[in-house]
């Protein structure tokens, strides 16, 4: 059984003891909850893959205390990595660079690169400080499902695991970190997030391109499209077509549209992108719980501030190949 514990002194000590013993601990970050393990312990890292049902070539993000830890993971360390870390850490930015010697292949999924970030959530920072090392942590959900933004979501994902879950309440950003790849000739955003490509470009003093959606993981082109998905099929529909689309038994996720008719479960999210992103996964989870025929989502507006939200919704709406359930190659 998963156990949610208060993240006081005692809770943090228990978490550290478990991590030192090579076990997993779920903890809050400012983006989503992570499923953490000692980043230097290959056996513990393998437990993450087993617990999530994640393919072994799908690399993990290392969580570190700060800029000072970067050189331990990325080598050679580009100047651009230091500039971006100084500007945005601690915070929702993951930096990908060439993996330094000694970085476990379990962590990198056998790729020559590694992903590193320093989380801003005070409990994540406190845990890293007490642990005194680095924690590998993917989002604390089973592979292909929605990321958890509350401790109870993590418990729901892993009902049969003896998992310690540090409770940090609802997460503040609600969407996963921006991932920027600095291992190539030009910086590239692999996954959009709260920190925009233009924010990165401002710091670097040069343009930052955004990779097409299916290239997020180096070895898995196309496979990641149907990711971040609830159980029910999800459809994105323009606001003015909602009325004609919704059927009894559907669930609706709205922003501006009027309430639908009877027999349609419905949730409304704030109309600003920060508030919408914060509440998105919890709203999808709660709509999904009732087992609707489909979750119909009022399509979000265009514009840079909605980029990460459109990205996650498009992934959730993407067709799901049967192979996806097993996490195997298409
Ligand atoms: O906000 C976040 O980043 C959360 C919190 C817990 O920190 N973590 C997270 O981890 O979203 P995860 O494992 O669910 O997603 C990590 C993403 C994956 O899409 C993976 O392909 C990508 O990071 N990634 C990891 N290492 C990479 C690498 N070396 N090159 C390219 N992409 C990488
Ligand atoms: Mg994830």
pLDDT at position 243: 92
Q: Decide whether any atom of ligand 1 lies within 6 Å of the 175 Cβ.
A: no
Three state DSSP letters for the chain: CCEEEECCHHHHHHHHHHHHCCCCEEEECCCCEEEEEECCCHHHHHHHHHHHCCCCCCCCEEECCCHHHHHHHECCCCHHHHHHHHHHCCCCEEEEEEECCCCCHHHHCCCCEEEEECCCCHHHHHHHHHHCCCEECCECCCCCECCCCCHHHHHHHCCCCCCEEEECCCCCCCCCCEEEECCCCCCEEEECCCCCHHHHHHHHCCCCEECCHHHCCCCCCCCCCCCCECCCCEEEECHHHHHHHCCCCCEEEECCCCCCCCCCEEEECCCCHHHHHHHHHHHHHHHHHCCCCCEEEECCCCCHHHHHHHHHHHHHHCCCCHHHHHCCCC
Reported as a pLDDT band with limits 50, 70 and 90, residue 19 is very high
- Mean of the pLDDT values across residues 107-131? 98
pTM of the model: 0.94
Mutate which of 115, 123, 195 for ligand 1? The one with the most ligand atoms within 8 Å of its CB, which is: 115
Distance, in Å, from the CA atom of 20 to the CA atom of 17, rounded to the nearest integer, reads: 5
Where do we find the tokens 């609707």?
Answer: 292
- Mean of the pLDDT values across residues 90-103? 98
pLDDT tens digits, 220-257: 433 455 567 899 999 999 999 999 999 999 999 999 99
Asked if residue 233 lies in contact with residue 323, where contact means CB atoms within 8 angstroms, the answer is no
Lowest-confidence region among 93-107, 251-265, 273-287: 251-265
CA-220 nearest atom, ligand 1: 21
Enter the tokens of residue 85. Answer: 């870390």
Lowest-confidence region among 1-10, 95-104, 106-115, 189-198: 1-10
Residue 150 C-alpha to ligand 1 middle, in angstroms? 19
Asked if residue 6 lies in contact with residue 169, where contact means CB atoms within 8 angstroms, the answer is no
pLDDT at position 320: 77
Mutate which of 49, 157, 194, 217 for ligand 1? The one with the most ligand atoms within 8 Å of its CB, which is: 217
Q: Decide whether any atom of ligand 1 lies within 6 Å of the 109 Cβ.
A: no
Mean pLDDT of the chain: 92
Reported as a pLDDT band with limits 50, 70 and 90, residue 322 is low
Chain centre to alpha carbon of residue 305: 18
Which of the ligands is closest to the CA of residue 227? 2
122 vs 263, more confident: 122
Asked if residue 111 lies in contact with residue 294, where contact means CB atoms within 8 angstroms, the answer is no
pLDDT at position 324: 45
Q: Give exposure, 76-113, as e/b (b: 16+ Cβ within 10 Å).
A: ebbebbeebbeebbbbbbbbbbbbeeebbebbbbebeb
CA-61 nearest atom, ligand 1: 25
Please measure the distance between the N-terminal and C-terminal CA atoms of the chain and give it in whole angstroms.
Answer: 33
pLDDT at position 221: 33
pLDDT tens digits, 61-71: 999 999 999 99
Which of the ligands is closest to the CA of residue 60? 1
Reported as a pLDDT band with limits 50, 70 and 90, residue 42 is very high
Which of the ligands is closest to the CA of residue 191? 1
Distance, in Å, from the CA atom of 194 to the CA atom of 177, rounded to the nearest integer, reads: 7
Q: Decide whether any atom of ligand 1 lies within 6 Å of the 58 Cβ.
A: yes
Residue 12 C-alpha to ligand 2 middle, in angstroms? 24
Reported as a pLDDT band with limits 50, 70 and 90, residue 263 is confident
pLDDT at 96 exceeding the cut of 50: yes
Percent of the chain with pLDDT over 70: 92
pLDDT at 328 exceeding the cut of 50: no
Reported as a pLDDT band with limits 50, 70 and 90, residue 213 is confident
Strands in 295-298's sheet, in edge-to-edge order, are 234-237, 295-298, 251-254, 265-268
Residue 179 C-alpha to ligand 2 middle, in angstroms? 12
- Residues in the chain, total: 330
pLDDT at 8 exceeding the cut of 50: yes
Q: Decide whether any atom of ligand 1 lies within 6 Å of the 61 Cβ.
A: yes
Residue 261 C-alpha to ligand 1 middle, in angstroms? 40
C-alpha neighbours within 13 Å on the C-beta side of residue 310: 12
Lowest-confidence region among 43-57, 124-138, 211-225: 211-225
């Amino acid at each position: 059984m998963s156990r949610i514990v208060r993240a006081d002194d005692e809770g943090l000590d228990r978490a550290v003891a478990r991590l030192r013993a090579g076990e997993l601990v779920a903890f809050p970050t400012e983006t989503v909850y992570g499923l953490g393990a000692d980043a230097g312990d290959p056996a513990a890292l393998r437990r993450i893959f087993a617990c999530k049902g994640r393919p072994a070539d799908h690399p993990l993000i290392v969580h570190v205390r700060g800029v000072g830890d970067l050189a331990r993971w990325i080598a050679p360390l580009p100047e651009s990595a230091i500039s971006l870390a100084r500007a945005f850490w601690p915070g929702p930015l993951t930096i990908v660079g060439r993996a330094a010697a000694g970085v476990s292949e379990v962590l990198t999924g056998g790729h020559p690169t590694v992903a590193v970030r320093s989380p801003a959530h005070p409990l994540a920072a406190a845990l890293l400080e007490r642990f005194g090392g680095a924690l590998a942590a993917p989002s604390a959900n089973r592979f292909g499902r929605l990321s958890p933004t509350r401790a109870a979501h993590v418990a729901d994902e892993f009902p049969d695991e003896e998992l310690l879950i540090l409770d940090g309440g609802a997460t503040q950003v609600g969407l996963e970190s921006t991932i920027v790849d600095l291992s190539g000739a030009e910086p590239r955003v692999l996954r959009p997030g709260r920190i925009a490509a233009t924010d990165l470009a401002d710091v670097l003093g040069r343009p930052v391109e955004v990779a097409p959606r299916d290239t997020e993981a180096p070895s898995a082109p196309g496979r990641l499209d149907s990711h971040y998905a609830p159980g029910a099929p999800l459809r994105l529909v323009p606001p003015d077509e909602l009325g004609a689309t919704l059927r009894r038994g559907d669930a609706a996720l709205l922003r501006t549209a009027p309430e639908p008719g009877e027999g349609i479960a419905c949730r409304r999210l704030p109309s600003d992108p920060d508030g919408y992103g914060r509440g998105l996964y919890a709203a999808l989870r709660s709509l999904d719980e009732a087992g609707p025929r489909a979750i119909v989502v009022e399509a979000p507006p265009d514009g840079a501030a909605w980029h990460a939200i459109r990205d996650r919704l498009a992934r959730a709406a993407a067709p799901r190949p049967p192979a996806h359930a097993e996490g195997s190659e298409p």
